Amino acid sequence: MSFRDPSLSASMPSSTSLGPLYTFPVPSFINLSQGKSTTWLYTTAAIIAALLILEQSVYRYKKGHLPGAKWTIPIIGKFAESVTPTMEGYQKQWNSGALSAISVFNIFIVMASSNEYARKILNSPSYAEPCLVHSAKTVLRPDNWVFLNGKAHLSYRRGLNSLFTRRALGIYIGIQDAITRRHLNRWLEDAAKEPAPKPIMMTARHLNMDTSLKVFCGKHITEEAALEINEKYWAITQSLELVNFPLAIPGTKVYKAVQARKVALHWLELAAHRSKISMANGSEPECMLDEWVQVLADPAYKGRREFSDLEMAMVLFSFLFASQDAMSSGLIYGFQHLADHPEILAKVREEQERVRQGDMEKPVTLEMLDQMPYLNAVVKESMRVKPPVTMVPYKTLRAFPISDDYTVPANSMVIPSFFNSMHDPQIFPEPEEFKPERWLDPNGSANQNPKNYILFGSGPHRCIGIEYATMNIALVLATAAVMMDFEHELTPLSNEVEIIATLFPKDGCRLKLTPRMQSNN
The DSSP annotation for 187-206 comes to: HHHHHHHS-S-EE-HHHHHH
Residues 6+ apart with CB under 8 A from 27: none
Question: What's the whole-number mean pLDDT along residues 220-224?
Answer: 94
Q: What is the predicted pLDDT for the residue at 345?
A: 98
Residues 6+ apart with CB under 8 A from 340: 434, 488
Tell me: is residue 463 an annotated ligand-binding position: yes
Q: What is the predicted pLDDT for the residue at 242?
A: 64
Count Cβ neighbours within 10 Å for each residue of 477-508 and write b for 16 or more, e otherwise: bbbbbbbbbbebeebeeeeebbbbbbbbbbbb
Q: What is the predicted pLDDT for the residue at 175?
A: 96
Residues 6+ apart with CB under 8 A from 215: 172, 175, 176, 287, 288, 468
Q: What is the predicted pLDDT for the residue at 337?
A: 97
Q: How many residues does the chain have?
A: 521
Q: pLDDT-based confidence at 31, cuts 50/70/90?
A: low
Q: pLDDT-based confidence at 25, cuts 50/70/90?
A: low
- For 423, counting Cβ atoms within 10 Å of its Cβ (0-12 exposed, 13-18 middle, 19+ buried), the class is middle
Segment 65-95, tens digit of pLDDT: 999 988 888 887 787 777 778 888 889 999 9
Q: Tell me: pLDDT of 192 over 70.
A: yes
More confident residue, 7 or 221: 221
Q: pLDDT-based confidence at 502, cuts 50/70/90?
A: confident
Q: pLDDT-based confidence at 518, cuts 50/70/90?
A: low
- What does 351-362 look like in DSSP terms, one character per residue? HHHHHHTT-TTS
Alpha carbon distance 513, 14 (integer Å): 102
Nearest to 139 by CA among 271, 269, 252: 252
Sheet of 484-488: strand order equals 198-199, 510-515, 484-488
More confident residue, 498 or 262: 262
Nearest to 134 by CA among 251, 48, 243: 243
Nearest to 361 by CA among 181, 192, 169: 181
Q: Write down the pTM of the prediction.
A: 0.87
Structural domain boundaries of the chain? 1-63, 137-515
Q: What is the CA radius of gyration of the chain?
A: 31
What DSSP designation does 112 have? E
Q: pLDDT-based confidence at 223, cuts 50/70/90?
A: very high
Are 483 and 516 spatial neighbours (Cβ–Cβ below 8 Å)? yes
Question: What's the whole-number mean pLDDT along residues 227-236?
Answer: 90
Written out in words, the top-level CATH class of the domain with range 137-515 is mainly alpha
Q: Tell me: pLDDT of 355 over 70.
A: yes
Nearest to 328 by CA among 405, 389, 416, 243: 389
What DSSP designation does 422 have? G
Segment 303-322, tens digit of pLDDT: 666 789 999 999 999 999 88
Segment 238-290, tens digit of pLDDT: 887 766 666 778 988 889 999 999 999 999 999 999 999 999 999 999 999 99
Segment 110-158, tens digit of pLDDT: 999 999 999 999 999 999 998 877 778 888 898 888 888 888 888 888 8
Nearest to 216 by CA among 173, 172, 260: 172
511 three-state secondary structure: strand
Are 421 and 458 spatial neighbours (Cβ–Cβ below 8 Å)? no
Q: Which of 48-52, 175-179, 214-218, 442-446 is predicted least confidently?
A: 48-52
Q: pLDDT-based confidence at 35, cuts 50/70/90?
A: low
